[in-house]
Amino acid sequence: MRVLLAGGAGYIGAHTAVALLESGHEVVLLDDLSGTQAVAAERVETITGKAAPLVVGNAADDEVVEAVFAEHGPIDAIVHLAAFKAVGESTQKPLDYYANNLDSTFALLRVGLAHGIRSFVFSSTGTVYSDPADLPFTEDSTTSVDLSNPYSKSKRMNEVILADVARVNPDVNVTILRYFNPVGAHPSGLIGEDPTGIPNNLMPYVSRVAIGTLDRIGVFGDDYDTPDGTGLRDYIHVVDLAEGHVVALEQAQPGLAVYNLGTGVPVSVLQLIASFEAAVGRELPKEFLPRRAGDVAATYCDPAKAAAELGWRTRLTIDDASRDYWNWQSRNPRGYSA
Q: What is the pLDDT of residues 108-128, one digit of tens each?
A: 999 999 999 999 999 999 999
Give the list of residues 6+ apart from residue 133 with CB closer than 8 angstroms, or none: none
Write the CB contacts of 250 (distance below 8 Å, at least 6 apart in sequence): 23
Residue-level pLDDT at 183? 98
In this predicted structure, the answer to whether residue 152 has a pLDDT above a threshold of 80 is: yes
Q: How confident is the model at residue 292 (pLDDT cuts 50, 70, 90)?
A: confident
Q: How far apart are CA 189 and CA 130, in angstroms?
A: 36
Q: Using alpha carbons only, how large is the chain's radius of gyration in Å? A: 19
Is residue 23 within 8 A of residue 246, CB to CB? The reply is yes
Q: Does residue 59 have a pLDDT over 80?
A: yes
pLDDT at residue 338 in the model: 66
Residues with catalytic function: 151
Q: What is the pLDDT of residue 304?
A: 98
Provide mean pLDDT across the span 304-311.
98
Largest Cα span, the chain: 56
Residue-averaged pLDDT of the chain: 97
Instruction: Give the pLDDT confidence of 249-272 residue by residue, as tens digits.
Output: 999 899 999 999 999 999 999 999
**Residue 315, Cβ density class (10 Å: 0-12 exposed, 13-18 middle, ≥19 buried):** exposed
Give the phi and the psi of residue 164 in degrees, each rounded to 5.
-70, -40
Instruction: Please tell me whether the overall predicted TM-score, pTM, comes out greater than 0.95 for this model.
Output: yes
